[in-house]
Amino acid sequence: MEKEFVIRSYSYCELAMLYFPNSTKKNASAQLGKWIRENEKLQSQWLELGFKPRKKLLTPIQVKMIIDVFGEP
């Protein structure tokens, strides 16, 4: 039985590893960052919420936004 994904605060790396479990932490973070940068709507919503590049902790709102766009990891 699969565990249900819980929307909560995640470190950026932790969430990236959920999306890319077979990657290194560095590569997973880079790939998630690429997905986010390529999605202009998500990126603008994040900026409105005060997201700063290189921020290490994602709020539950930011995590929900990612899930809404990319689906659950």
* pLDDT, tens digit, 9 for 90 and up, residues 5-38: 999 999 999 999 999 999 999 999 999 999 988 9
**CA-based angle 45:47:53, to the nearest 5?**
125
What was the pLDDT predicted at 1? 55
Among 30, 29, 34, 35, residue whose Cα is nearest residue 16: 29
Report pTM: 0.87
* pLDDT, tens digit, 9 for 90 and up, residues 32-70: 999 988 999 988 888 887 777 777 889 899 999 999 999
Around Cβ 42, how many Cβ atoms within 10 Å? 19
